[in-house]
Amino acid sequence: MGSELKRPVRVLHVLRPAAGGMRQHVLQLATGMVAHGFDSQIACPGDTEIVRSAFAAGIEIRPVPIVGPPSPVRDIEAIIVLSDIIRRGAFDIVHAHGSKAGLIGRIAAMLARSRNRVVTVHNDVLGGSVRPAMHRAVVRIERFLARHTSRMIAVSDALRSELIETIGLDPALAVTVHNGIDLAPFLASVDPGPVRDRYGIPRDAFVFGQAARFAPQKGHEALVTAAVPVLEKIPNAYLLLAGDGPLLERVERVASRTSVASRILFPGFESDVRGMLAALDVFASAPVSEGLGIAAIEAMAAGLPVVSVRTGGVPEVVVDGETGILAPPGDISSLTEAMVRLARDPTVRLAMGRAGRLRAIEEFSQETMLERTALVYREVLCSDS
């Protein structure tokens, strides 16, 4: 079908209010898929960061009042508005991102009689539902919607397995497409000295750190707990935690009660992630859950070894013992040991950094992600022809 169209294939990306990785991912698809013959628009709430970014990139936005938390009245309103947009826009593919947009988007597409429905799962398949009754309800809804879905894209094999095991999705409908990034900024060389000066870190210090939103799934408290013994053993070691978010003040309080509070730094939101990474010797994280791990990919592209936790899609990014060291989930002492090992072994650090950069280039480029997504779109269109 795709090859028979006399015009670019029209794709509508649907998402809730989104920040961080999901927002960036949708923008990458909307801008990058043009070269593959797909003309993208975005349906999302108005007056959000993605709207401003999309406008700057010349991408058309279709305002839809999708909200994050469950809201029957507003969700029905969003379905009605989105269904009308899909019908009037004659979109060939409706591609929803995340659990909430996946719900709204597929129902709206069904009402609009748009048959090609794709959903990308970026993190927890069930959207974080933990109460048994809610869990069962979400599973039932997802199983119903799965019968009306052309493809489910998971950003990691771990999430793909969860889709199959949790909601009983037909494996033929579930495909993994790893997130990719624009590698060029991270492959570029950056002088760490001025960056460390900006953060108030001595140029001869040893620095662990990351840039991430302070949210429950990122595990900042666990990382601080693991880092304290490291900083106590290594007097010139620092922990740099860039980012903002709802848990920032709480983590700052935890750090302030430690014996090494002056060497745990919180510079706030950092727009220059590549510059921030230049200040590090080791990228360190301790996520509770992680769909894939874009921040680790960025760090690897920048030539940094990674210390993290074996959870979600992280092991698909970081090869344990080759591009970094992974600790078992919840094992703070193992995370501490890994940090100490890398701080004291420059030969291992250098080898892991080189291997990580090579892996980022081979597996996690933006172009690889776009090509694999285009292949999914073509399969969906061919199956509908």
pLDDT tens, position by position, for the chain (385 residues)? 444 445 689 999 999 876 667 888 999 999 999 999 999 999 999 877 788 888 888 899 999 999 877 788 999 999 999 999 999 999 999 999 998 999 999 999 999 999 999 999 988 766 555 567 777 888 899 999 999 999 999 999 999 999 999 888 999 999 999 999 999 999 999 999 999 999 999 999 999 999 999 999 999 999 999 999 999 999 999 999 999 999 999 999 999 999 999 999 999 999 999 999 999 999 999 999 898 889 999 999 999 999 999 999 999 999 999 999 999 999 999 999 999 999 999 999 999 999 999 999 999 999 999 999 999 999 999 987 6
Q: Contact 274/191 with Cβ under 8 angstroms?
A: no
Q: Angle at which helices 20-32 and 366-384 pack, to 10 degrees?
A: 70
CA-based nearest residue to 26, from 102, 96, 91: 96
pTM assigned to the model: 0.87
CA distances from 145 to 25, 109, 218, 238 (A): 23, 11, 29, 48
Q: Contact 379/151 with Cβ under 8 angstroms?
A: yes
CA-based nearest residue to 314, from 206, 167, 170, 155: 155
Whether CATH 3.40.50.2000 fits 184-363: yes
178 in helix, strand or coil? coil
**CATH annotation of 2-180+365-384:** 3.40.50.2000
Task: State the distance between the two ends of the chain, measured CA to CA, in whole angstroms.
Answer: 5
Q: Look at residue 48 in the predicted model and tell me its pLDDT.
A: 75
Q: Look at residue 3 in the predicted model and tell me its pLDDT.
A: 44
- In our burial notation (b when 16+ CB lie closer than 10 A, e otherwise), range 354-374 reads ebbbebbeeebbbeebbeebb
Q: Look at residue 130 in the predicted model and tell me its pLDDT.
A: 58
Residues of the chain with CATH 3.40.50.2000: 2-180+365-384, 184-363
Q: Look at residue 2 in the predicted model and tell me its pLDDT.
A: 41
